[in-house]
Structure 1
């Protein structure tokens, strides 16, 4: 029923920081990316190419790209909402993959990117095509797949139809996002299975927020239903400026701990993730939500046990 390995996509430099009021320097963003790579992460959403007036934390997108480590084994993802953003990302010469966003409801689509839900699907298909034309890869996320902050419940059939339409553009994957953290495991399993049946061999990625404490359960349910890629954010930071009540992402260290203990490989160094959590907490000047960052892993490393018994 479950896969033996899951690919993790680190989103802390973009989704983790975009809703934070405290400015984070370009240098600290680059340090976060370097630490993520050192922890074993090989796909990283490094920034978004959006209007800096709307999302001030992402105003240094080009500067972040200029400072990215030269790594042939790492895929740098840039989030874009339209052709203008895609052109900016491509022009940096450092982005490997464009991430488009389609939104499952009209009201949220208008708040998030100034277009209808159907318009966001067409924009996503265009971005995927622009990526391919530029020699990059493209993927798309369907935001508010499990519920909308403005319109409430979202019909599964609507999300399935959107996924099928986006699949026509041949993205490398399609993600289902619980943007405001309202999903539950039963709903997740049902929707992932239906989308999987609709899009054939295109991989499914999932993106969960732990707003109501169901994030890890939803990750587990999604993997059981066929998802093979999981978004997460070191420390559990995250949120959306245009979605009221959207609290943090599932934490990379929490997801990795759960999956590795269950025999599902993530390829990540848990102790390095925990150390990055502590570093990032200092940058943000607050304790971060991740539970494993607070409690530590298990079994505990021998050096910690020796210190405690000394």
Structure 2
């Protein structure tokens, strides 16, 4: 089977358009795999693993009329994609395998799938007490009871997560392109199949976002960006086609620590520090440039961080810029107001 046909098969499986025989055959292999991508293997290790996968796929292939070479392509692709569950094509099948008739090992238990086919949000309570809010046209998949002790879910679409803290078991969200790891926090992951970029936004706590290894024929491992750490009001944006991962502020940072926001002849530096505290945003400025500068401002009526900064800049003749989730306040001195 040519690689293009294999890619088409895996895409059909993810979209739920396989024939019944194709779907059963793929799931027979897929359900037997442990959670999470495999570590990098040597050439000998990949060959040994390919043979093991081929043995697992042999019973399944009887369900299809494909020649043996086709299933060898599938096994090889699974190895090249890092054992599948985090890969770009197998990352989100439309439905989990059917429940077995007899008790099965934890790794082979059927997946629980939560699909939001409504126009509103769908609340999902996870086995560890964490909660996910699925947006429309989104799907969440995980093992019953988080089998194997791993708090791992697989997402297609968009969801907001409120994660129960467990220092011993990090919570992991896999999409087709990235994995997000946390201990306990709240964040949003947006990864619809049709969108060019995957976005992870943090509301509270910290998360680590790592691109997944590309499938066979993609970029080299050296070209894949390293992980980045996100803090509240920050987001990671990953473009797999360009292998680019960057950090930035969310469009509308939320208020984390309310402040009075009323300044009567107060130093500009005090205003900037209050904004940093309120929104948890790194605002950089030159103390020498604002030394001796004071303002009379009431920023309570400005709803957003950027609206407050605009008013401060108008009052002082300053400007600001953004880069890598930081704001730089540019001042050449103060003007009378």
Select the structure that is richer in strand. 2
Select the structure that is richer in helix. 1
* TM-score, normalised via structure 1 length: 0.35
* TM-score, normalised via structure 2 length: 0.32
Higher RCO (C-alpha 8 Å, min separation 6):
1
